Structure 1
Amino acid sequence: MDNALEQNITKSSLPDATKPRPVHRLDFPTTGLLIIGKTSASILALNKLFENKKIQKTYLAVTIGEMIKKGTINTNVDNKEAFTTYNVLKTVTSNKFNYLNLVKLEPKTGRKHQLRVHLSSINNPILGDAKYGIPGKIIKGKGLYLHAYSLDFTHPFTNKKISVTKEPHNKYTKIFPML
Structure 2
Amino acid sequence: MQLTETHIVPILEKPIRFQEYAVGLFNTIPTKSGIKKAIKKELILIDGVLATTSKYISGREKIELFQSENSSTFERLKLDLEVVFEDDYLAIIYKPAGILVSGNKFVTIANGLAQNLTKSNQSDAVKPQPIHRLDYPTSGLLLIGKTSSSINRLSKLFENKEIKKTYFAITIGVMNTKGIINSPVDEKNAHTEYSVLNSVISERFEFLNLVQLKPKTGRKHQLRKHLFSIENPILGDKEYFLENKILNGKGLFLHAGILEFVHPFTKENISISKELPKKFTKIF
Same fold (TM over 0.5): yes
* Number of the residue aligned with 2:207: 99
* Number of the residue aligned with 2:136: 28
CA distance in 2, matches of 1:29, 1:69: 26
* Number of the residue aligned with 2:36: none
CA distance in 2, matches of 1:146, 1:108: 17
Q: Which amino acid aligns with 2:161?
A: K
Alpha-carbon displacement from aligned partner over 1:28-78 (angstroms, at most 9, x marks no partner): 111000000010011000000000000110000000000011000001000
Structural mapping, 1:10-159, within 5 Å: 10-159=118-267
| Percent identity for Structure 1 against Structure 2 | 62
TM-score (norm 1): 0.97
CA shift at 1:167, angstroms?
0.6
CA shift at 1:114, angstroms?
0.2
Structure 1 stretches lacking a partner, 5+ long = none
SS of match in other structure, 1:102? strand
C-alpha RMSD of the superposition: 0.7
SS of match in other structure, 2:257? strand
CA distance in 2, matches of 1:16, 1:136: 53
Q: 2:275 aligns with which of 163, 167, 174?
A: 167
Q: Which amino acid aligns with 2:190?
A: A
SS of match in other structure, 2:122? coil
Q: Which amino acid aligns with 1:5?
A: L
Structure 2 stretches lacking a partner, 5+ long = 1-107
TM-score (norm 2): 0.61
Verify: 1:7 aligned to 2:88, yes or no.
Answer: no
CA shift at 1:135, angstroms?
2.9
